[in-house]
Amino acid sequence: MDTWHSTGGYNVLFRTDCVPYMYSRLMYTNGGGHFDLVYADMLYDDFDFDRWLPLCRELLADTGSIFVQTDYRSVAELKLYLDNLFGKKNFVNWIVWPYDWGGRPKNAFGRKHDDILWYAKTSDYVFYPEHVQIPKKTTGSVLNPSGRDTKTPTDVWTDVGNFHTMSSERVSGTKWQKPERLVRRIVEAVTERGGTILDPFVGSGTTVAVSMKTGRKSVGCEIDKDIFKNAKERLKELDNELYKQF
């Protein structure tokens, strides 16, 4: 198996199908749950949830959370599946990430948002709203009556946006790359520094990049050889930048 890890070994990339990786991790840890966060940005027309979602749940710590990202193609089926797997009482949020790029159909409104379903493993899950505050806008010089100048975002993340096509963040050869800003909000909402993250569908390596930049520990799996290669290059470059001062 082709692998890469960051300096210090806290962030690891595996070129593999995530399913055998998750089975072997469960065997190795004797069925123990470890990850604080699973972020799964799945292929949106893949309905084979039974293959990987129960394993993700098993691998979560009792205080941990899963965020599964998709869109109109499979969100209805995914919601019902997750309600059943995690229990409706552990559903936390249905987050909408709107964007506005790409073409528009002539016969319908443009389909311009992703859906991110957040479930907790148990009612003891952690949430750090103080990590993800956004500015509270006030009009003119009127003082904010609450005395606060920040607020916790709602479940519609209009403020996140995306990187532009010429951005240095863009990794060539991947069509599904998510902005670091989006993944960072998820990571910081439910983990602290040193927290652990699993991304079973790591693609261009966004989750691992965010983990490295924010001092978390992560594992990312990518099945495709060329996508893995590009992710590895991206992360190697980031690792050099982060550690060049040492």
Ligand X SMILES: C[S@@+](CC[C@H](N)C(=O)[O-])C[C@H]1O[C@@H](n2cnc3c(N)ncnc32)[C@H](O)[C@@H]1O
CA atoms within 13 A on the CB side of 15: 13
Q: Compute the least distance from the CB of residue 205 to ligand X, in Å.
A: 7
Q: Compute the least distance from the CB of residue 171 to ligand X, in Å.
A: 7
Binding mask 131-170 for ligand X (x = CB under 6 A): ----------------------------------------
Do the bridges between strand 217-222 and strand 11-15 make them parallel or antiparallel, or are there none, so unpaired?
parallel
> Is residue 184 at the binding interface for ligand X, with CB under 6 A as the rule?
no
Number of neighbouring beta carbons within 10 Å of residue 216: 23
> Is residue 49 at the binding interface for ligand X, with CB under 6 A as the rule?
no
Q: How many residues touch ligand X (CB under 6 A)?
A: 19
> Is residue 53 at the binding interface for ligand X, with CB under 6 A as the rule?
no
Is residue 54 within 8 Å of residue 25, measured between CB atoms?
A: no
Is residue 157 within 8 Å of residue 113, measured between CB atoms?
A: no
Q: Please spell the DSSP secondary structure of 160-218, one letter per residue.
A: T----TT-TT--TT-SSPPPHHHHHHHHHHH--TT-EEEETT-TTTHHHHHHHHHT-EE
Q: Where are the beta strands (DSSP E) in 30-156?
A: 35-41, 60-70, 91-98, 113-120, 134-135, 150-151
> Is residue 178 at the binding interface for ligand X, with CB under 6 A as the rule?
yes
Q: Compute the least distance from the CB of residue 42 to ligand X, in Å.
A: 6
Q: Which of residues 96-135 bind ligand X (CB under 6 A)?
A: none
Residue 78 or 90: the one with the smaller Cβ distance to ligand X is 78
From 95-103, 125-133, 146-154, 172-180, span contacting ligand X (CB under 6 A)? 172-180
> Is residue 4 at the binding interface for ligand X, with CB under 6 A as the rule?
no
- The one-character DSSP state at 9 is S
Residues that bind ligand X (CB under 6 A): 17-19, 41, 43, 174, 176-178, 200-201, 203-204, 206, 221-224, 227
